[in-house]
Amino acid sequence: MNPLITAAALDAALGSETLWSRAGRRRSSLRVLDVRWKLGGPPGRDEFAKGHIPSAVYVDLDTELAGHGLPTDGRHPLPPIADLQAAARSWGLSDGDAAVVYDDVSGTSAARAWWLLRHAGFDNVRVLDGGLAAWVAAGGALEPGESVVAPGDVHLEYGQLPVLDADAAAAVAAQGVLLDVRAGERFRGEVEPVDPRAGHIPGAVSAPTADTIGVDGRLLPPEALAERFAALGVDAQAKVGVYCGSGVTAAHAALAMEAAGLPIPALYPGSFSAWSNDPARPVAVGAV
């Protein structure tokens, strides 16, 4: 399944929903999830209240799409599955539903929800290509305020997508292709605004997320994405892992790879925030 959906296709899907809930009230089988989030703010919920895609429900990345642990677990570790399931039910998700996730940062935060739901066994989820800007540019309406939805009954269980711990990430760097999708200057160790040490996991390859996004905020066409990944040593047979700063943007790399027709790579949820907080882990600097 194509992991992306266009604004026009989403508008058409929303206009065709006629399903009814077991309680007898009209209920859409398509849930739209607003995952606006930026490191350092402003709060996504405030932006949601100003205007969102009709029927959308706000999803808080920090509290619903991430857990909390030790520094060596990273800044955005995976939430316990029971917590994710409870959150998903509060969004109105039920088994058999479809979901579309969006943000206002070219999918880099919405992809976290996409990846988590896929990892937890909810397969029918897509990312709005180009996000809220694409919706508005296509003439889509926005509605203000909060959204209230009937709770769903979705059942979730982790284990559907490959994940890496620190040891496995090091092994992929040595034996396969470990993509570091942070900005190049962070990879090289020239700057580090968040984590305790600058640099990258030894053996990793610099693959900035920005290189997969076009000037219109949408993912590059599949052929261009495939060419980019091939230049990084990635093909359908390669053993591939991805990481970023805290595990959020790495999900966007997984999205881009599937959009390119490649297998979804193994993701290191702790990413460099976990790695750099462990003094026993070596850190490399420079272009390689």
Same domain? For 225 and 107 the reply is no
For residue 204, is pLDDT > 90? yes
CATH number at 170 reads 3.40.250.10
**Do 120 and 160 form a contact (C-beta atoms < 8 A)?**
yes
Please report how many Cα atoms fall inside a 13 Å half-sphere around the Cα of residue 247, on the Cβ side: 31
Same domain? For 57 and 182 the reply is no
Max Cα distance, the chain (Å): 61
Quick: pLDDT tens for 209-225: 999 999 999 999 999 99
**Looking at the domain assignment, is residue 144 inside a domain?**
no
Same domain? For 102 and 187 the reply is no
Determine the pLDDT at residue 229: 98
Same domain? For 82 and 10 the reply is yes
**Average pLDDT of the segment spanning 54-70:** 95
Quick: pLDDT tens for 167-203: 999 999 999 999 999 999 999 999 999 999 999 999 9
Whole-prediction pTM value?
A: 0.94
Determine the pLDDT at residue 1: 76
For residue 59, is pLDDT > 80? yes
Task: Give Cβ neighbours of residue 42 (< 8 Å, ≥ 6 apart).
Answer: none
Question: How many Å apart are CA 249 and CA 160, to the nearest integer?
Answer: 19
Same domain? For 132 and 25 the reply is yes
Mark whether 244 is an active-site residue.
yes
Show the domain range for 54.
Answer: 4-137
**Average pLDDT of the segment spanning 1-22:** 77
Q: Which of 66, 105, 116, 244 is catalytic?
A: 244
Question: How many Å apart are CA 164 and CA 170, to the nearest integer?
Answer: 9
